[in-house]
Structure formats: C-alpha cells, structure tokens
Structure 1
Amino acid sequence: MDAGEFHGRELGKFKQAAFAVLPLGSFEYHGPHSPFGTDIFLAEGFSNLIRKDLNGVIYPAVPYSSCPGKTANYEGTISVRPSTMIEYLSDILEGILKLGIHRIVLLNAHDANMGLTRSVTEYVTIRHPEAKFLLVNWWQMVEVGKSAEIGFIGTSGRGHGGPFEMSAVKGLRPDLVNVKPEDPEFREIDKYSTLPYVTVEGSPEAWDGYTGLISQTAIDKGKMIVKEAAENMNKLIENWIFGTKEGDNHESGVKKANNRD
C-alpha cells in the first residue's frame, strides 16, 4: 500500500496496516558512472519489493540526508546537517506513530544514515514505549561471502559506488548506470583487522568519490543481488511481525540484531 495515495477519508487504512515502511536515501555523488539519486532508487526499489501479503504501508522516501566529508565536498552532493536530520526524522516517525501504527521498518540505502537512525529510534521509544523499529540496510541482506557466487572476481564488490551497489541499481533500473572504459577503478585496501571496526577519513585511499572495480558492474549480477536481498529482507520482516516458528530452517535476522548489543 502506498501511503501517499490514501485519501483523507481513508485514515482507517493506516490503522489496518501491520507496519509502516520509511525508505531512507540521500542525494550524493557516486562517481561519474552513477546517479546522484542512487540511494533513493535503492531505498524505494527495495521498499516496493516487500511482499504485499505482509500488509505494510509504504511512505515516500526521505531523499536528503547527512553526507560524510568524503562525498559532501563533491559538486552536486546535498548534505543536511546531522542535527537537522535528527529532528526531521524524529518528527516523521512521531507523525506515523500518531496514526496508530506501532511498527516501523526503516529501509536504508545510505551508510551515513545508520548512526543517525539508531539514535533517533532510541530517542523516539522514550516518548513512545509502544513503538517498535526494524532498521534494515539493504546491502546487509546479502552475505559478503557470496561475492564469488554472484560473479565478482578478485573483489567483494562492496563499497560506495562500487560494482555491488551499482549492479543492484542496474537490477532495479538498468538505464541508470553507465560505466565507461576510461572511468578509473580502485582496488580494495587491505583490512586492518578481521574484527569489526570503524574508520572515518575525509580523503580515503583508493577513492575519488567512489571506489571499487566498477567494470565488474553488470545487470545479471544486479538481478541476483536484488533477488537475494529481497528474499532475505522479506524473511526478516515476516519474522519480526509474526515471530519465528520452531524448526524454521533460517535464522531470524531479529535474533541476530538482538545479539549485537
């Protein structure tokens, strides 16, 4: 269901929904081969792949967000101050909750939204104890170990504007990505540790507003990525809404998330 199509006399439709979906994007430079609206197209695209029988209502995507220094300084990027974004997103979520929808999926396509969204949802639950949020980053719906199976050679394909992300865009909108032979490519930097860590750099190595072996971008890989991500996303949402049944052959993403604190 598309929330933007509801009429004023149809407020009851909101209350009938099992959950709301708020797609989160950005307007950000993704390299010469990729659209500025990459994260918007991905957030909206995956929102539209949520199964109808799960009975969710999809809200319009948030198109602008805070962008890191490594992309904010590239011409064309529009970056919103984090403080503004926190207040703006808080108001949106509270507006949805006031309609009686207590479960909200935040379907994110922009890395810099992760911290902001977690802070906002934790804050909103103080004011609305009945609220339940599921934060879904679409790229985490495909295991990194499946890179070779997807068809990436000598690379995971991951990274901003890289072949994994841009193949996914091609899987949804084949017309939006255009890699040319003269576009520079960047090999991945060796990881500092096998353990999780975060680095923040204004000018990373192997970077010019994007990264990766972009010549490996392809629509067939994109279709595989989109299919895998959509299936896992729907399993996760289904488990979150209805719970898991004993003997399920897949582990709930909710359980995984609960074990990360």
Structure 2
Amino acid sequence: MDVIGVHGREISHVTESAQFAVVPLGSVEYHGPHSPLGTDTILAEGFAKRVDAALRPLIYPTLPFSACPGKTQHYPGTISVRPSIFIEYLTDVVEGICRLGICNIVLLNAHDGNMGPARVVAESVTSTYPDASFLIINWWQMASVDFTQQLGLFQGTAGRGHGGPYEMSAVKALRPEMVTVQESDLELDSCPPLSSLPYVLVEGTPQGWDGYTGHIQQCSLEAGQTIVVEASRNMNLLIQEWLDMKKKTNKEAK
C-alpha cells in the first residue's frame, strides 16, 4: 500500500496490517550524457513498486535529495545535500514511522552515497527504538556480480559502474524513454580491480571517468528486463526471510 493514499481515519488499520515500511532512497545526480539526473530515484521507486504486495508493505515516497560524492558534485545537474543534513533528515523520517508503531523498516537504496548514512541512521535509531529492525537493500546487490556474465548480457564486461550498462539497462526496463545513448557518447574503461578481495576505494577523479563509466553502448532493454526480474525476485526472497526471522524471534520471546 502507498502511504500517500492513506486517509487519516485509516491510519490505525493500515499500520496494524502492514508488516513493514519501505523508504526508497534516491538522488539527483549526473549519470552521464545518456542518463537522467533522476536515475537513482527512478530505480528506487521502480523497485519499491516491485515489492510483493502479499508481504504487506507500506510504501513511503522516495527521498530524492541526498549526499553525492565529490566525483559527481561538480557535474551539471547534481544536487548534493551535506551528509550530516541527510542523516538528520532520514533519522526524522524513520523515527516518524517508528512512532506509528511500525518497527520493521526497509531502506531500499539506489544510490551508492546513501550506503554509509543509511547504516548510521539505522544504528542510531535502534538505540532509541530497541524493537526497530532495519533491512538495508541496495538494489544492485540483489543480483550476483557474475549474473550478467553467466547469461552473456554484456560482452567483455559485467556492466557494473556509475551510469554503466548494468544500471542504465535497469532504468531502461523501468522507463525505456529515459536512456538515450548516442554513437558519440564515450565508452570508458573503469579501473581494473586491485584484488579479488572486497575493498573500498574513494577517489575524486577515478580512472576511466567522465561523470560516469562503462561500455554504455551495451545498454539494452532486454538486459535491463532480465536484471530487474532477477533483482526483484531476490529482493522479495530476502524480505520474506527477514520477516520470517522476525516472527520466529518474537514467538520465542513470548
């Protein structure tokens, strides 16, 4: 259910029937000449709509403004909110949801820069509301890194990267008219991995970067539809497992 359409007289019934709230997190950020500034907002909203209604979610509006990294802040169209302000804003939003009595909250994220603030907010709010449980979902992690390679969706690349074919194909599946790759748009090779181990590398001007990266000529509707189906399926399985765990824990506590 979409919270925007809930009438005042219905609030108690809706909050009692909802198993969890969904807060989509987006951004207004440059993603290359071929991509909309609202890429992350489109993705956050799109995947929120694909949360299985049978799980009884209460869907909140997407938060469109957030903290953007230095490597995109100076590109035209990017609007960046200071991280401290975004953390305070998101804290107020989720505490308002907790005050309604909804203790299970999914932060459904589509913007890399939201990962740190979302974790900070979740950890902080659980100190005020001990019964609160946050599931932070980054949509692009709902399909394995080698998923596109196993299916041969892209050639010579997994497609990952800001504004790259993985992300923009997913946008194309949700809003086909919003991705417009032209022959003159540059193909960019991102920095090769430093290790097979997970790591975080933060740079103001990464290798193979012009406000985006990747072999964008490989963006396709077909690849995007496959990615969105896989990510949505795994997202709903993850949410179901989380809810089942919460029910089991609550039952054992009684």
Deviation string 1:7-31 (CA, Å, 9 cap, x unpaired) is 1111121222000000000000000
Runs of 4+ in 1 over 3 A off after TM superposition: none
After TM superposition, list the pairs within 5 Å mapping 1:1-261 onto structure 2. 1-12=1-12, 13-148=14-149, 149-243=151-245
Deviation string 1:165-206 (CA, Å, 9 cap, x unpaired) is 000001111111000000001113211111111111111110
CA–CA distance in structure 2, aligned partners of residues 119 and 243 of structure 1: 23
Instruction: Tell me the TM-score normalized by structure 2.
Output: 0.95
CA–CA distance in structure 1, aligned partners of residues 8 and 162 of structure 2: 40
CA–CA distance in structure 1, aligned partners of residues 202 and 148 of structure 2: 25
Deviation string 1:31-89 (CA, Å, 9 cap, x unpaired) is 00000000000000000001110000000000000000000111110000001001000
- Residue 134 of structure 1: how far off its partner (Å): 0.1
Instruction: Tell me the TM-score normalized by structure 1.
Output: 0.92
Q: What runs of 5+ residues in structure 2 fail to find an aligned partner?
A: 247-254
CA–CA distance in structure 2, aligned partners of residues 203 and 185 of structure 1: 17
CA–CA distance in structure 1, aligned partners of residues 152 and 225 of structure 2: 10
Residue 112 of structure 1 aligns to a residue whose secondary structure is helix
| Conserved? CA contact 2:163–2:213, under 8 Å | yes
Residue 112 of structure 2 aligns to a residue whose secondary structure is coil
CA–CA distance in structure 2, aligned partners of residues 78 and 237 of structure 1: 31
| Conserved? CA contact 1:150–1:221, under 8 Å | no
CA–CA distance in structure 1, aligned partners of residues 54 and 76 of structure 2: 42
Residue 93 of structure 2 aligns to a residue whose secondary structure is helix
CA–CA distance in structure 1, aligned partners of residues 31 and 123 of structure 2: 30
RMSD: 1.0
- Residue 164 of structure 1: how far off its partner (Å): 0.1
| Conserved? CA contact 2:139–2:235, under 8 Å | yes
Q: Percent identity?
A: 57
Match of 2:250 in 1: none
| Conserved? CA contact 1:15–1:99, under 8 Å | no
Residue 114 of structure 1 aligns to a residue whose secondary structure is helix
Please identify, of 10-19 and 119-128, the stretch whose mean Cα deviation from structure 2 is larger.
Answer: 10-19
CA–CA distance in structure 2, aligned partners of residues 189 and 58 of structure 1: 37
CA–CA distance in structure 1, aligned partners of residues 147 and 64 of structure 2: 30
Please identify, of 60-69 and 143-152, the stretch whose mean Cα deviation from structure 2 is larger.
Answer: 143-152
Residue 107 of structure 1 aligns to a residue whose secondary structure is strand
Residue type at the aligned position of 1:233? M
Deviation string 1:91-134 (CA, Å, 9 cap, x unpaired) is 00000000000100000000010011001100000111000000
